[in-house]
């Protein structure tokens, strides 16, 4: 046990405080078990008639009848939670106004943590080829190859491949698979930081040296690694990972999308000789438990994962990389509401680690922190190797002659045809999933909406269904209007990527067309495979949503056409300009990433809009300075503080009444100089049958906002099915 202070050990029978994962409002008193236990020990304790997981949080409070205090049932055979992780969970809970047990649940999201060490049957690739290859057998072998030779249990392999266990047993008999006994949780292979990496440019070498120096000096620090698309930021921060490994430290790399992990893991394996631990929703439960345990023991040196990997029990965390740090998917929007970028900085500050925030288009928050000197900034100003940044031009849609049911302008058609004829790839970008965002009845004028939400149903013609993008409800595409009963009068309005693909097939009949949208693939593995095929040249024309803007490298892609560059400028979101700028620059950066020069054409009805002009000019710092000045004048983040309050319930009157009472009794907020707006219906006012009302709080940057909100909400007693959620630093206002 890595515990150095005897004060952290509790002898048998001592009163200890245990934080459980149950939704309770306090730490509970228990007696230490036979043999005693350490602070931070994971334990099983009785709670009513049940046995629940908990962590020894410290000494007991003694405010409970000692005769009724029960004993810990057992101490789990896993590494105790370190003091720095306890501190991180406590401070994250205080910052986000989240109950501490909910934070502990984030830190224990692995099954079977209390299971004793045991053996299991696992299956790996063998060295023989089956005498007869079937589609089912091929799927099994493909799964094992796709996961880099990782071992699977019988059940996991059967589920991943969609086959019965008899198919796997047959492959074992043929020698194509190997069945072996293995301990349930094995250490990960050691990475070799001294294997040769890629030759770095002068820019890259300077940045890598600066990151290595920061790690050698020790202590906390945050660096904004800003590099134009294709500048090789990944190679730079992998050198920082190598230095952390040499120093005996663990490293964590956060990625915004599962679809990015396949290519990234290949690069990590090329640099360090083996694959790292991988943590995200696509990982099997068996692998999640293994990662959790090995991270705590120090037997997983590098973890590549989604935002929840921040809550793993690292033993010696020295480096956190947040790749594409500006990406909105780092904000958890349900359950515990937190921003993984901000929580990464908090965890590093507590544990004394280095953070690298990498992006071609950083968030204004990170830009402002670097501008103020809180973060160090390293710039990569040119693309790696022979590639150069793409040219960017606007297509003024006011001057293009386009039929009402067409969306690809003649100028873009001409440019795309030329590139395809030259054997190059073209990307058409539209940030709308499905076939059409609205289905309208031409007889009565009604739009088909979701029965459970205040949202329009989106037609997905490939799936032959209408889908609600809020709650996931789907229904078959109707032949008659559900409102007036008129037959054959339903019409799709507006384009989604599926409708764009239909138009592209007419415009480019000989082109191989691929559509990339998350809802068109049954699994993350299928999406990864398709992206790899496209990168290898298995498509002439790619049509995609924002999925394609994030980190993918298509070497033969030389033209990007943005169908609706104005789409993100609509609405009142304070980050609309920032997000549009980031998305357009990111998606344009997919063009010309190899030797052939690239071009990005932005179809817009507002070519003189300041954001569009900034995108085309490439004056990024000028854009950030103007955006910062506007935000500072309005006292909004990052120059002021904001919090959202989301109230919901089945009775709309009750929800509004609660909002009105809160707004009228906002004394603690007014005392810190805050303003409160609302209550008002949320833009999407009903989700899954629950009515939603929002209040918005704006406060000075230095105001003690969390404390004021806690005092404001303390008297509130929720009745019936009313629910209240607090969103500190909201990113979305839906």
Q: At what angle do helices 524-535 and 261-272 cross, to 10 degrees?
A: 70
Alpha helices in 610-720 (DSSP H): 610-617, 620-634, 652-664, 667-671, 705-713
Radius of gyration over alpha carbons of the chain, in Å?
27
Residue 465 in any domain: the answer is no
- Domain harbouring 510, CATH code: 3.40.50.300
For residues 452 and 689, the answer to whether their CB atoms sit within 8 Å is yes
Among 137, 156, 183, residue at a domain's last position: 183
User: Containing domain of residue 206, as a range?
Assistant: 202-263+272-279+300-380
Q: At 355, list the tokens.
A: 């953070």
Q: Quick one: the chain helix, strand, coil %, rounded to 5?
A: 35, 25, 40
Instruction: Report the CATH number that the domain containing residue 63 is assigned in CATH.
Output: 3.40.1440.60
Q: Is residue 670 part of a domain?
A: yes
pLDDT given at position 433: 78
Q: What is the pLDDT of residue 4?
A: 37
95 shares its domain with 131: no
Domain count, the chain: 5
Cα angle 653-656-658, degrees, rounded to a multiple of 5: 110
CA distance 76 to 190: 26
Structure tokens at 693: 């009302």
Q: Are residues 612 and 510 in the same domain?
A: yes
CA 681, chain centre distance (Å): 27
Task: Kindly state whether residues 372 and 395 are assigned to the same domain.
Answer: no
Angle, alpha carbons 110-152-286 (nearest 5°): 10
User: Strands 42-47, 74-75: parallel, antiparallel or unpaired by DSSP?
Assistant: antiparallel
Residue 174 parent element (H or E): helix 165-174
Confidence (pLDDT) at 3: 39
Helix (H), strand (E), coil (C) string for 482-499: CCCCCECCEEEECCCHHH
Chain position carrying tokens 């010696």: 316
- Tell me: do 206 and 255 sit in the same domain: yes
Q: Are residues 353 and 222 in the same domain?
A: yes
Q: Can you give the pLDDT at residue 368?
A: 93
Are 518 and 604 members of one domain? yes
Residue 588 domain-assigned? yes
Q: Are 11 and 96 part of one and the same domain?
A: yes
Its sign, for the CA torsion 636, 98, 291, 38, is positive
Tokens of 136: 């089912």
pLDDT value of residue 302: 97
Task: Take residue 312 and report the two structure tokens written for it.
Answer: 């793993």
| Structure confidence at residue 1 (pLDDT) | 38
Residue 190 in any domain: the answer is: no
Give the mean pLDDT per block of 10 residues along the chain (734 residues).
59 93 90 93 94 93 83 92 96 96 93 77 86 88 77 84 90 89 83 92 93 96 90 92 97 85 85 91 84 93 94 96 93 91 97 96 93 94 66 90 86 93 91 79 83 78 76 81 84 82 91 81 70 85 81 81 82 77 83 78 90 85 88 90 93 92 94 92 83 92 95 92 93 72
Please check whether residues 582 and 689 belong to one and the same domain.
Answer: no
Same domain, 369 and 229: yes
Both 676 and 717 in a single domain? yes
pLDDT at 127: 82
Both 245 and 327 in one domain: the answer is yes
Beta carbons of 175 and 126 less than 8 angstroms apart = yes
- End of a domain among 581, 601, 627? 627
Phi-psi region of 715 (alpha: psi -120 to 50; beta: other; left: phi over 0): alpha
Q: Of 136, 153, 183, which one is at a domain's C-terminal end?
A: 183
Asked whether residue 449 is domain-assigned, the answer is: no
**Residue 79 lies inside a defined structural domain of this protein:** yes
Task: State how beta strands 74-75 and 37-38 pair.
Answer: unpaired
Residue 66 within a domain: yes
Residues 130 and 98 reside in one and the same domain: no
Length of the chain: 734
Say if 483 falls within a structural domain. no
């Amino acid at each position: 046990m890595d515990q150095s202070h005897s004060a952290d050990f509790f002898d048998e029978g001592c009163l200890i405080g245990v934080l459980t994962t149950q939704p309770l409002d306090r730490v509970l008193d228990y007696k230490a078990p036979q043999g005693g236990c350490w602070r931070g020990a994971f334990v099983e304790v009785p709670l009513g008639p049940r046995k629940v997981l908990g962590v020894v949080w410290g000494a007991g409070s003694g405010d409970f009848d000692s005769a009724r205090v029960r004993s810990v049932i057992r101490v789990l055979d896993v590494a105790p939670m370190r003091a720095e992780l306890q501190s991180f969970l406590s401070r994250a809970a205080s910052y986000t106004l989240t109950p501490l047990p909910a934070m502990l649940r984030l830190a224990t999201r692995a099954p079977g943590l209390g299971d004793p060490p045991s053996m299991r049957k696992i299956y790996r690739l063998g060295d023989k080829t089956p005498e007869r290859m079937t589609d089912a057998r091929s799927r099994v072998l493909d799964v094992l190859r796709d996961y880099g030779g990782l071992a699977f249990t019988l059940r996991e392999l059967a589920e991943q491949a969609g086959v019965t266990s008899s198919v796997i047993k047959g492959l074992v008999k043929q020698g194509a698979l190997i069945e072996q006994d293995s301990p349930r949780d094995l250490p990960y292979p050691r990475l070799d930081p001294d294997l040769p990496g890629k030759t770095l440019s002068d820019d890259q070498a300077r940045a890598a040296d600066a990151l290595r120096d920061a790690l050698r000096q020790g202590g906390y620090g945050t660096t904004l690694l800003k590099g134009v698309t294709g500048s090789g930021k990944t190679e730079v921060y992998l050198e920082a990972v190598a230095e952390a490994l040499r120093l005996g430290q663990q490293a964590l790399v956060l990625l915004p999308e599962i679809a990015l992990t396949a290519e990234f893991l290949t690069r990590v394996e090329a640099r360090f000789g083996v694959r790292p631990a991988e943590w995200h929703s696509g990982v099997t439960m068996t692998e999640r438990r293994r990662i959790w345990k090995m991270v705590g023991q120090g037997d997983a040196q590098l973890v590549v994962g989604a935002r929840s990997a921040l809550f793993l029990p690292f033993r010696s965390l020295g480096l956190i990389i947040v790749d594409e740090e500006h990406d909105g998917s780092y904000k958890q929007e349900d359950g515990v509401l937190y921003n993984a970028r901000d929580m990464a900085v908090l965890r590093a500050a507590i544990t004394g680690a280095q953070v690298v925030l990498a992006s071609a288009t950083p968030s204004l928050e990170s830009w402002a922190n670097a501008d103020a000197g809180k973060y160090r900034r390293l710039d990569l100003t040119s693309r790696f190797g022979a590639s150069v940044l793409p040219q960017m031009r606007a297509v003024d849609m006011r001057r293009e002659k386009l039929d009402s049911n067409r969306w690809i302008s003649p100028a873009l058609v001409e440019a795309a045809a030329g590139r395809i004829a030259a054997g190059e790839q073209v990307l058409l970008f539209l940030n709308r999933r499905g076939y059409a965002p609205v289905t309208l009845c031409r007889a009565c004028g009604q739009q088909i909406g979701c029965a459970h939400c205040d949202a329009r149903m989106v037609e997905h013609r490939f799936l032959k269904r209408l889908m609600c993008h809020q709650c996931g409800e789907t229904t078959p595409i109707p032949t008659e209007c559900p409102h007036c009963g008129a037959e054959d009068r339903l019409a799709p309005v507006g384009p989604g990527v599926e409708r764009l693909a239909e138009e592209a097939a007419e415009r480019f009949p000989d082109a191989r067309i691929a559509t990339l949208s998350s809802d068109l693939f049954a699994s993350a593995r299928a999406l990864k495979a398709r992206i790899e095929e496209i990168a290898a040249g298995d498509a002439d024309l790619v049509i995609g949503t924002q999925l394609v803007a994030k980190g993918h490298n298509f070497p033969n892609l030389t033209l990007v056409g943005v169908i609706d560059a104005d789409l993100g400028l609509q609405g009142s979101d304070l980050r609309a300009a920032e997000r549009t700028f980031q998305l357009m620059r990111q998606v344009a950066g997919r063009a010309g990433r190899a030797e052939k020069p690239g071009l990005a054409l932005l179809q817009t009805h507002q070519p003189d809009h300041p954001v569009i002009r900034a995108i085309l000019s490439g004056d990024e710092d000028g854009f950030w300075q103007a955006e910062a000045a506007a935000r500072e004048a309005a006292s909004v983040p990052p120059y002021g503080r904001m919090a959202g309050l989301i109230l919901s319930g089945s009775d709309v009157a009750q929800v509004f009444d609660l909002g009105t009472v809160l707004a009228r009794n906002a004394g603690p907020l007014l005392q810190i100089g805050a303003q409160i707006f609302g209550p008002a219906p949320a833009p999407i006012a009903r989700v899954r049958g629950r009515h939603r009302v929002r209040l918005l709080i704006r406060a000075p940057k230095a105001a003690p906002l969390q404390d004021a909100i806690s005092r404001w909400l303390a008297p509130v007693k929720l009745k019936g099915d009313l629910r209240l959620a607090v969103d500190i630093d909201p990113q979305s206002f839906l």
